[in-house]
A and B are shown apart, each in its own frame.
Chain A
Amino acid sequence: MKSEFTPPIGKILQISGKCISLIGNDIDTDRIIPARFLKCVNFDALGKSVFEDDRKTLKGRHPLDLEDNKNASILIVNSNFGCGSSREHAPQALMRWGIKAIIGESFAEIFYSNCIAIGIPCFTLPKKLIQDIQSYIDKKSLSLEIDLKNSLAKSKDFNFCLEIKESSRKMFLSGEWDATATLLENSKLVERKSKELPYIKFGYDF
């Protein structure tokens, strides 16, 4: 885990870093950050506990514990990554460990939107391509330079196109992935909407 952590801010146009491969389908957020670490009122200390139980089981052989992966920042995963609990603690823990982007076959929905909301782009690639990248990483080190504008990943040996939801890509390019400011801009429309909704008038009789 890196000692200094600075959260991303503003436009995210480019991410470069070393890839780390984590093989497995349906890796859930309980595994990414076990529930006992959710007993906290901020996210600061989560980085060191990411995948705690899986890492303990593998006694130093977990990808996150290998010396070679110490400075990795692009996570390569398989299908349905981040399923289960909505805990944002999961991507927060990954981010605090050092992950800046994730490339996978597919992502669970709430995990995906949590990643976008905290500035971690998640890209998808077909199953076969993910597996090829993972076996490449198994043998050689892979560093990527990801260009969000063109959804392109470049490495020393090869380049490839990445897929990302258009709405997410635009948000990273404009810096609007941190949605609060954008949502606040429509304050008047929100007020109007609240008056239009039939049930708001019923009120709650506490």
Chain B
Amino acid sequence: MSKDTLFDKVWDLHKVSSLPGGSDQVFIGLHLIHEVTSPQAFGALKDKNLKVKFPNRTVATVDHIVPTDNQSRPFKDNLAEQMIETLEKNCLQHKIRFFNIGSGNQGIVHVVAPELGLTQPGMTIACGDSHTSTHGAFGSIAFGIGTSQVRDVLATQTIAMNKLKVRQIWCENKLSHGVFAKDLVLHIINKLGVKAGVGFAYEFAGPAINALSMEERMTICNMSIEGGARCGYINPDEKTFSYIKNKLCAPKNDDWDKALSWWKSLKSDENSIFDDLIKFDASKVEPTVTWGITPGQSVGINQQIPLLEKLSPNDQFVAKEAYEYMGFKPGQSIKNTPVDVCFIGSCTNGRISDLRVAAKVLKDKKVSKTVKAFVVPGSEKVAAEAKQEGLDKIFKKSGFQWREPGCSMCLAMNSDKLIGNQVSASSSNRNFKGRQGSPTGRTLLMSPAMVAAAAIKGKVSDVREFINK
């Protein structure tokens, strides 16, 4: 059993009681909600005649269903309009702070909360969305929950949950030039598998993790769930504190000093005990691309799609399904695979640093005529910052469409969808069958820089050929 890790400290601090069945009742410090997984929870409160217990510990935004072309109200899609109206009504009725479209702070919930300074070290954070693990980048313990648990958090500010085990993923050395956080996390998931994290919180640590920016750390923690871990986190450091400082909801004045001294005490002890420990050499990671139907099915850009017999018996089952669905032959190179659609965005890679690096690749280049390319900033703030830096102009000049913020084609709940069996190069997080809106659509996950390179060439390419040292 783990001992004295950050996870243990935060869990113990928030534990309210041991429940009769053996699980713990845990206090949730910050509850984030959006339009898709909250309406039924508010409905259940009404049915049970319950109130929201701590309305000021819940914050809302709208992201999954928002159109990215025309956001004027009412939305063209009646169902989408009904969902945003329901959220507006629920927030108003229960006095929950809602960052709506046009507020300057709307966007993907996992982009918005950190940029508002809501996400802070030492907190427990829950949201009805599996990518809530993102917030672990700040040394908070953050996990996705279902709608019944959203109901529980609204009604009691707590949930019933079994304590997780802790696996430390130690990343030695540094990522090499042209290799990004996305590549590292895809590599880790490939090596450990998509279900290795079940029952675990992942602590990402080591020199390669320390060297990452806060936004890169968010990319890593975001994808924990793709490795099966409901929660991923990184011990907070000076980068964490300076990211939060002066944000809208960050502690101010005396509170800042108190917060800072508390945050500095929050990290896994040097001799803490982990349930498991795995080491990676970050310098060996290449730009990585998925070829299959789970985020674990990836290869380095210069590698081939694995032969069936090279895979473990457990992985062969899904590999067969993946070859067939993707239309790939075992042994085929991933490089030069033609792509139809290029998508930059999502809670994994839709932040300002992601847009900057993609724009750097695209500057003075043109998107291939065979490709439809679009960029969806993660939030209104990201969009505004990008415009201020002139990134929107670089994208548009290259042939990318510049869209309004939202989740967009990561899960295709709005009108941004693949058509037929199109292949997309996507900076998002899931390559599941049908994920991007077409039941036969095919997704290749990669870093935003790699998506930009694929857009220029019209096929999967090595971004290192586009960026100088």
Contacts and interface: CB of A to CB of B under 8 A. Distances in A.
B20 A110 contact: no
Contacts of A79: 195, 314
B56 A190 contact: no
A182 B152 CA distance: 10
B155 interface: yes
Most buried by A among B27, B39, B321, B412: B27
A24 B80 CA distance: 33
Interface stretch (B9-17, B174-182, B343-351, B360-368): B9-17
Given A25-B317, A34-B439, A114-B148, A182 B160 contact: yes
Given A26-B195, A87-B37, A176 B20 contact: yes
Contacts of B248: 205-206
A40 B79 contact: yes
B16 A86 contact: no
A193 B149 CA distance: 19
A166 B21 contact: yes
A38 B64 contact: yes
B61 interface: no
A3 interface: no
A83 B228 contact: yes
Contacts of A190: 16, 25, 27, 53, 156-158
Contacts of B199: 109
Contacts of A178: 148
A108 B413 CA distance: 23
A168 B160 CA distance: 11
B259 interface: yes
Nearest to A28: B432
Nearest to B149: A117
Interface in B254-281: 255, 258-259, 262
A113 B130 CA distance: 12
B92 interface: no
A30 B411 contact: yes
Interface stretch (A67-75, A135-143, A149-157, A195-203): A195-203
Contact of B195 (A31, A80, A202): A80
A189 B258 contact: no
A131 B43 CA distance: 40
Given A86-B37, A88-B128, A183-B156, 14 more contacts: A26-B195, A26-B294, A35-B412, A41-B83, A86-B132, A88-B37, A107-B198, A108-B195, A170-B22, A176-B19, A183-B160, A186-B156, A190-B158, A206-B248
Interface of A: 24-26, 28, 30-31, 34-36, 38-43, 53-54, 56-57, 78-80, 83-89, 91, 106-110, 113-114, 117-118, 165-171, 174, 176, 178-180, 182-184, 186-187, 189-190, 193-194, 197-206
25 contacts: A24-B317, A25-B314, A26-B194, A26-B195, A26-B293, A28-B432, A30-B430, A30-B435, A34-B434, A35-B435, A36-B412, A41-B40, A79-B195, A84-B130, A89-B147, A107-B198, A108-B228, A117-B146, A117-B148, A170-B21, A182-B160, A189-B17, A193-B14, A194-B54, A199-B122
